Structure 1
Amino acid sequence: MADQEHTKAAVRTFLSCATEMARLMNLRDAADVPEARRARHLAHALRKPLLERAYLPEEFFPPLMAAAVYDPDPSFCRWFVEPAVYAFGRRQVMTALLDYLRTGTDAEQAGAERAWYCAHVPLRADRSPAYAPDGSRDPALDESHDVRDEWRETLRPSTK
Protein backbone atom coordinates (compact mmCIF):
# COMPACT_ATOMS: atom_id res chain seq x y z
CA MET A 1 0.00 0.00 0.00
CA ALA A 2 2.85 2.41 0.77
CA ASP A 3 4.20 1.88 -2.75
CA GLN A 4 0.84 2.82 -4.25
CA GLU A 5 0.68 6.00 -2.14
CA HIS A 6 4.23 6.90 -3.19
CA THR A 7 3.26 6.45 -6.86
CA LYS A 8 0.18 8.66 -6.43
CA ALA A 9 2.28 11.37 -4.76
CA ALA A 10 4.83 11.22 -7.59
CA VAL A 11 2.07 11.57 -10.20
CA ARG A 12 0.63 14.58 -8.36
CA THR A 13 4.09 16.17 -8.15
CA PHE A 14 4.72 15.64 -11.85
CA LEU A 15 1.27 17.04 -12.58
CA SER A 16 2.04 20.20 -10.61
CA CYS A 17 5.32 20.60 -12.55
CA ALA A 18 3.61 20.09 -15.91
CA THR A 19 0.81 22.47 -14.90
CA GLU A 20 3.33 25.16 -13.96
CA MET A 21 5.11 24.79 -17.30
CA ALA A 22 1.76 24.99 -19.12
CA ARG A 23 0.98 28.19 -17.20
CA LEU A 24 4.35 29.71 -18.14
CA MET A 25 3.82 28.78 -21.79
CA ASN A 26 0.22 30.10 -21.74
CA LEU A 27 -1.24 26.70 -22.61
CA ARG A 28 -4.60 25.44 -21.40
CA ASP A 29 -4.35 23.45 -18.18
CA ALA A 30 -6.28 20.44 -19.58
CA ALA A 31 -8.76 20.42 -16.70
CA ASP A 32 -11.10 18.35 -18.88
CA VAL A 33 -8.55 15.48 -19.06
CA PRO A 34 -8.77 12.89 -16.26
CA GLU A 35 -6.18 13.58 -13.56
CA ALA A 36 -4.45 10.24 -14.13
CA ARG A 37 -3.60 11.30 -17.72
CA ARG A 38 -3.42 15.08 -17.31
CA ALA A 39 0.32 15.37 -16.65
CA ARG A 40 1.24 13.31 -19.72
CA HIS A 41 -1.30 15.26 -21.78
CA LEU A 42 0.30 18.56 -20.70
CA ALA A 43 3.80 17.22 -21.32
CA HIS A 44 2.77 16.25 -24.84
CA ALA A 45 1.23 19.68 -25.43
CA LEU A 46 4.41 21.40 -24.16
CA ARG A 47 6.97 19.46 -26.16
CA LYS A 48 6.71 21.17 -29.53
CA PRO A 49 6.22 24.76 -28.28
CA LEU A 50 9.23 24.40 -25.98
CA LEU A 51 11.45 23.18 -28.80
CA GLU A 52 10.21 25.90 -31.15
CA ARG A 53 11.30 28.74 -28.88
CA ALA A 54 14.65 30.36 -29.63
CA TYR A 55 14.71 31.75 -26.11
CA LEU A 56 13.20 30.77 -22.78
CA PRO A 57 13.22 33.20 -19.86
CA GLU A 58 15.39 32.19 -16.91
CA GLU A 59 12.25 31.81 -14.78
CA PHE A 60 11.37 28.75 -16.90
CA PHE A 61 14.50 26.87 -15.92
CA PRO A 62 13.62 25.64 -12.38
CA PRO A 63 10.13 24.34 -13.30
CA LEU A 64 11.46 22.83 -16.53
CA MET A 65 14.13 20.93 -14.62
CA ALA A 66 11.63 19.91 -11.93
CA ALA A 67 9.32 18.52 -14.61
CA ALA A 68 12.25 16.55 -16.08
CA VAL A 69 13.24 15.18 -12.67
CA TYR A 70 9.71 14.35 -11.54
CA ASP A 71 8.59 12.80 -14.83
CA PRO A 72 8.11 9.18 -13.79
CA ASP A 73 8.68 7.82 -17.28
CA PRO A 74 12.33 7.72 -18.37
CA SER A 75 11.22 7.67 -22.00
CA PHE A 76 9.51 11.04 -21.70
CA CYS A 77 11.67 13.15 -19.36
CA ARG A 78 13.58 14.08 -22.53
CA TRP A 79 10.59 16.22 -23.47
CA PHE A 80 11.71 18.65 -20.78
CA VAL A 81 15.47 18.08 -20.81
CA GLU A 82 15.99 18.60 -24.54
CA PRO A 83 14.45 22.09 -24.75
CA ALA A 84 16.33 23.05 -21.57
CA VAL A 85 19.62 21.96 -23.15
CA TYR A 86 18.88 23.99 -26.28
CA ALA A 87 17.70 27.10 -24.43
CA PHE A 88 19.99 27.15 -21.39
CA GLY A 89 22.91 24.96 -22.44
CA ARG A 90 24.06 21.49 -21.50
CA ARG A 91 26.28 22.89 -18.72
CA GLN A 92 23.43 24.59 -16.83
CA VAL A 93 21.16 21.55 -17.22
CA MET A 94 23.80 19.11 -16.03
CA THR A 95 24.71 21.36 -13.10
CA ALA A 96 21.06 21.45 -12.01
CA LEU A 97 20.83 17.66 -12.26
CA LEU A 98 24.03 17.33 -10.25
CA ASP A 99 22.44 19.51 -7.55
CA TYR A 100 19.39 17.21 -7.47
CA LEU A 101 21.73 14.22 -7.19
CA ARG A 102 23.63 15.76 -4.29
CA THR A 103 20.80 17.28 -2.27
CA GLY A 104 17.53 15.81 -3.50
CA THR A 105 15.22 13.27 -2.01
CA ASP A 106 15.57 9.66 -3.11
CA ALA A 107 12.87 10.26 -5.74
CA GLU A 108 14.62 13.41 -7.00
CA GLN A 109 17.97 11.63 -7.18
CA ALA A 110 16.40 8.82 -9.21
CA GLY A 111 14.75 11.40 -11.49
CA ALA A 112 18.04 13.24 -11.91
CA GLU A 113 19.71 10.00 -12.98
CA ARG A 114 16.97 9.40 -15.57
CA ALA A 115 17.25 12.96 -16.85
CA TRP A 116 21.07 12.86 -16.91
CA TYR A 117 20.95 10.35 -19.72
CA CYS A 118 18.73 12.71 -21.73
CA ALA A 119 21.04 15.67 -21.09
CA HIS A 120 23.48 14.09 -23.54
CA VAL A 121 21.06 14.61 -26.43
CA PRO A 122 22.97 15.49 -29.62
CA LEU A 123 22.43 19.13 -30.55
CA ARG A 124 21.55 20.02 -34.13
CA ALA A 125 21.13 23.49 -35.57
CA ASP A 126 18.18 22.33 -37.68
CA ARG A 127 16.34 21.09 -34.56
CA SER A 128 16.11 24.36 -32.64
CA PRO A 129 15.88 28.08 -33.35
CA ALA A 130 18.18 28.57 -30.32
CA TYR A 131 21.05 28.61 -32.83
CA ALA A 132 22.24 31.73 -34.62
CA PRO A 133 21.14 32.02 -38.27
CA ASP A 134 24.58 30.74 -39.34
CA GLY A 135 24.07 27.57 -37.27
CA SER A 136 26.48 28.60 -34.53
CA ARG A 137 26.10 28.53 -30.77
CA ASP A 138 28.27 29.70 -27.89
CA PRO A 139 30.36 26.61 -27.05
CA ALA A 140 30.57 27.67 -23.39
CA LEU A 141 26.86 26.80 -23.05
CA ASP A 142 27.64 23.15 -23.62
CA GLU A 143 31.10 22.74 -22.06
CA SER A 144 30.45 20.22 -19.32
CA HIS A 145 33.47 17.93 -18.86
CA ASP A 146 34.03 19.16 -15.30
CA VAL A 147 30.35 18.69 -14.43
CA ARG A 148 30.49 15.13 -15.82
CA ASP A 149 33.52 14.44 -13.63
CA GLU A 150 31.66 15.79 -10.58
CA TRP A 151 28.66 13.61 -11.47
CA ARG A 152 30.81 10.48 -11.62
CA GLU A 153 32.53 11.40 -8.37
CA THR A 154 29.17 11.93 -6.66
CA LEU A 155 27.87 8.58 -7.86
CA ARG A 156 31.03 6.74 -6.81
CA PRO A 157 30.58 5.15 -3.39
CA SER A 158 32.80 6.61 -0.71
CA THR A 159 35.90 4.55 0.00
CA LYS A 160 36.71 6.31 3.29
Structure 2
Amino acid sequence: MVDDEHNEAAVRTFLSCATEVARLMDLGNAADVPEAHRARRLAHAVRKPLLERTHLPEDLFDPLMAAAVYDPDPSLCRWFVEPAVYAFGRRRVMAALLDYLRTGTGVERAGAERAWYCAHVPLRANRSPAYAPGGSRDPALDESRDVRDEWQETLRLSANCPGRLEA
Protein backbone atom coordinates (compact mmCIF):
# COMPACT_ATOMS: atom_id res chain seq x y z
CA MET A 1 0.00 0.00 0.00
CA VAL A 2 2.79 2.44 0.89
CA ASP A 3 4.59 1.64 -2.39
CA ASP A 4 1.40 2.33 -4.37
CA GLU A 5 0.99 5.70 -2.64
CA HIS A 6 4.65 6.50 -3.24
CA ASN A 7 4.33 5.60 -6.95
CA GLU A 8 1.15 7.67 -7.29
CA ALA A 9 2.87 10.67 -5.71
CA ALA A 10 5.85 10.24 -8.05
CA VAL A 11 3.56 10.10 -11.10
CA ARG A 12 1.74 13.25 -9.97
CA THR A 13 5.06 15.05 -9.37
CA PHE A 14 6.38 14.07 -12.80
CA LEU A 15 3.08 15.16 -14.36
CA SER A 16 3.39 18.52 -12.62
CA CYS A 17 6.95 18.96 -13.92
CA ALA A 18 6.08 17.92 -17.48
CA THR A 19 3.04 20.23 -17.44
CA GLU A 20 5.21 23.17 -16.39
CA VAL A 21 7.70 22.54 -19.21
CA ALA A 22 4.84 22.29 -21.73
CA ARG A 23 3.29 25.50 -20.35
CA LEU A 24 6.59 27.38 -20.67
CA MET A 25 6.96 26.05 -24.22
CA ASP A 26 3.41 27.31 -24.93
CA LEU A 27 2.20 23.82 -25.85
CA GLY A 28 -1.12 22.20 -24.98
CA ASN A 29 -1.75 20.49 -21.67
CA ALA A 30 -2.95 17.10 -23.02
CA ALA A 31 -6.06 17.36 -20.83
CA ASP A 32 -7.85 14.85 -23.05
CA VAL A 33 -5.29 12.13 -22.18
CA PRO A 34 -5.86 9.91 -19.11
CA GLU A 35 -3.74 11.11 -16.19
CA ALA A 36 -1.69 7.89 -16.11
CA HIS A 37 -0.37 8.69 -19.61
CA ARG A 38 -0.52 12.49 -19.59
CA ALA A 39 3.02 13.12 -18.33
CA ARG A 40 4.58 10.92 -21.01
CA ARG A 41 2.41 12.53 -23.70
CA LEU A 42 3.55 15.98 -22.58
CA ALA A 43 7.18 14.86 -22.51
CA HIS A 44 6.82 13.56 -26.04
CA ALA A 45 5.19 16.82 -27.17
CA VAL A 46 8.01 19.03 -25.86
CA ARG A 47 10.95 16.89 -26.99
CA LYS A 48 11.26 18.03 -30.60
CA PRO A 49 10.49 21.74 -30.02
CA LEU A 50 13.10 21.80 -27.24
CA LEU A 51 15.81 20.39 -29.51
CA GLU A 52 14.88 22.63 -32.44
CA ARG A 53 15.74 25.85 -30.62
CA THR A 54 19.22 27.30 -30.43
CA HIS A 55 18.37 29.09 -27.20
CA LEU A 56 15.85 28.34 -24.49
CA PRO A 57 14.48 30.88 -22.02
CA GLU A 58 16.26 30.98 -18.68
CA ASP A 59 13.03 30.24 -16.81
CA LEU A 60 12.92 26.81 -18.48
CA PHE A 61 16.13 25.50 -16.90
CA ASP A 62 14.81 24.58 -13.44
CA PRO A 63 11.61 22.96 -14.76
CA LEU A 64 13.66 20.91 -17.26
CA MET A 65 15.93 19.68 -14.49
CA ALA A 66 12.97 18.87 -12.24
CA ALA A 67 11.25 16.95 -15.04
CA ALA A 68 14.46 15.02 -15.73
CA VAL A 69 14.92 14.17 -12.07
CA TYR A 70 11.30 13.16 -11.49
CA ASP A 71 10.94 11.21 -14.74
CA PRO A 72 10.61 7.61 -13.56
CA ASP A 73 11.95 6.19 -16.83
CA PRO A 74 15.77 6.12 -16.87
CA SER A 75 15.84 6.18 -20.67
CA LEU A 76 13.23 8.84 -21.29
CA CYS A 77 14.54 11.41 -18.82
CA ARG A 78 16.97 12.15 -21.65
CA TRP A 79 14.09 14.01 -23.34
CA PHE A 80 14.58 16.75 -20.75
CA VAL A 81 18.33 16.45 -20.12
CA GLU A 82 19.51 16.53 -23.73
CA PRO A 83 17.86 19.86 -24.69
CA ALA A 84 19.13 21.37 -21.43
CA VAL A 85 22.68 20.27 -22.25
CA TYR A 86 22.43 21.78 -25.73
CA ALA A 87 20.84 25.04 -24.59
CA PHE A 88 22.46 25.67 -21.19
CA GLY A 89 25.63 23.60 -21.38
CA ARG A 90 26.75 20.30 -19.93
CA ARG A 91 28.48 22.01 -16.99
CA ARG A 92 25.33 23.73 -15.74
CA VAL A 93 23.19 20.61 -16.16
CA MET A 94 25.69 18.46 -14.29
CA ALA A 95 26.00 21.06 -11.53
CA ALA A 96 22.21 21.06 -11.08
CA LEU A 97 22.16 17.27 -10.88
CA LEU A 98 25.02 17.37 -8.37
CA ASP A 99 22.93 19.74 -6.25
CA TYR A 100 20.00 17.28 -6.34
CA LEU A 101 22.40 14.50 -5.32
CA ARG A 102 23.73 16.51 -2.39
CA THR A 103 20.56 18.12 -1.06
CA GLY A 104 17.59 16.32 -2.58
CA THR A 105 15.15 13.84 -1.14
CA GLY A 106 15.74 10.14 -1.73
CA VAL A 107 13.52 10.27 -4.82
CA GLU A 108 15.39 13.30 -6.15
CA ARG A 109 18.80 11.74 -5.55
CA ALA A 110 17.75 8.57 -7.38
CA GLY A 111 16.40 10.69 -10.25
CA ALA A 112 19.60 12.72 -10.38
CA GLU A 113 21.59 9.51 -10.71
CA ARG A 114 19.36 8.37 -13.60
CA ALA A 115 19.64 11.76 -15.31
CA TRP A 116 23.42 11.96 -14.76
CA TYR A 117 23.98 9.26 -17.35
CA CYS A 118 21.95 11.27 -19.89
CA ALA A 119 23.98 14.40 -19.23
CA HIS A 120 26.87 12.76 -21.08
CA VAL A 121 25.08 12.82 -24.46
CA PRO A 122 27.42 13.45 -27.37
CA LEU A 123 27.00 16.94 -28.77
CA ARG A 124 26.18 16.80 -32.47
CA ALA A 125 25.41 19.52 -34.99
CA ASN A 126 22.52 17.52 -36.44
CA ARG A 127 20.77 17.35 -33.03
CA SER A 128 20.57 21.05 -32.27
CA PRO A 129 21.06 24.33 -34.14
CA ALA A 130 23.27 25.43 -31.22
CA TYR A 131 25.98 23.17 -32.68
CA ALA A 132 25.32 23.81 -36.35
CA PRO A 133 28.38 24.64 -38.48
CA GLY A 134 27.67 28.39 -38.36
CA GLY A 135 26.80 28.39 -34.68
CA SER A 136 29.03 29.79 -31.99
CA ARG A 137 29.26 28.29 -28.54
CA ASP A 138 31.54 28.96 -25.63
CA PRO A 139 33.43 25.71 -24.90
CA ALA A 140 33.34 26.57 -21.18
CA LEU A 141 29.62 25.72 -21.21
CA ASP A 142 30.54 22.09 -21.65
CA GLU A 143 33.72 21.82 -19.57
CA SER A 144 32.68 19.64 -16.68
CA ARG A 145 35.64 17.63 -15.39
CA ASP A 146 35.57 19.34 -11.98
CA VAL A 147 31.81 18.73 -11.63
CA ARG A 148 32.31 15.06 -12.56
CA ASP A 149 35.02 14.85 -9.88
CA GLU A 150 32.68 16.41 -7.30
CA TRP A 151 29.95 13.95 -8.31
CA GLN A 152 32.29 10.99 -7.78
CA GLU A 153 33.45 12.38 -4.43
CA THR A 154 29.85 12.87 -3.28
CA LEU A 155 29.00 9.30 -4.25
CA ARG A 156 32.13 8.03 -2.48
CA LEU A 157 31.27 9.93 0.70
CA SER A 158 27.69 8.68 0.65
CA ALA A 159 28.91 5.09 0.23
CA ASN A 160 31.27 5.47 3.21
CA CYS A 161 28.66 7.25 5.35
CA PRO A 162 25.27 5.89 4.19
CA GLY A 163 23.23 8.27 6.34
CA ARG A 164 25.15 11.33 5.19
CA LEU A 165 22.86 12.17 2.28
CA GLU A 166 19.60 11.04 3.85
CA ALA A 167 16.85 13.64 3.80
Taking structure 1 as the reference length, what is the TM-score of the superposition? Answer: 0.96
Greater Cα offset, 130-139 or 87-96: 130-139
Residue aligning to 1:67: 67
Greater Cα offset, 102-111 or 136-145: 136-145
Cα distance, 1:44 vs structure 2:
0.4
Cα distance, 1:90 vs structure 2:
0.1
Residue aligning to 2:165: none
Unaligned runs of 5+ in 1: none
Cα distance, 1:116 vs structure 2:
0.1
Secondary structure at the aligned position of 2:40 is classed as helix
Residue aligning to 2:108: 108
Residue aligning to 2:47: 47
Cα distance, 1:131 vs structure 2:
2.6
Query: Does the Cα contact within 8 Å between 2:43 and 2:79 map onto a contact in 1?
Result: yes
Secondary structure at the aligned position of 1:126 is classed as coil
Cα distance, 1:57 vs structure 2:
1.0
Partner AA of 1:158 in structure 2 = N
Q: How does 1:1-160 map to 2 (within 5 A)?
A: 1-131=1-131, 133-156=133-156, 157-158=159-160
For residues 119 and 75 of structure 2, what CA distance do their matches in structure 1 show?
13
Unaligned runs of 5+ in 2: 162-167
- Aligned-pair identity (%): 82
For residues 47 and 35 of structure 1, what CA distance do their matches in structure 2 show?
19
Across the aligned residues of Structure 1 and Structure 2, the Cα RMSD in angstroms comes to 1.1
Taking structure 2 as the reference length, what is the TM-score of the superposition? Answer: 0.92
Query: Does the Cα contact within 8 Å between 2:130 and 2:136 map onto a contact in 1?
Result: no
Secondary structure at the aligned position of 1:110 is classed as helix
For residues 83 and 4 of structure 2, what CA distance do their matches in structure 1 show?
31
Query: Does the Cα contact within 8 Å between 1:125 and 1:136 map onto a contact in 2?
Result: no
Deviations 1:77-132 (A, max 9, x none): 00000000000000000000000000000000000000000000000112101136
Count how many residue pairs are aligned between Structure 1 and Structure 2.
Answer: 159
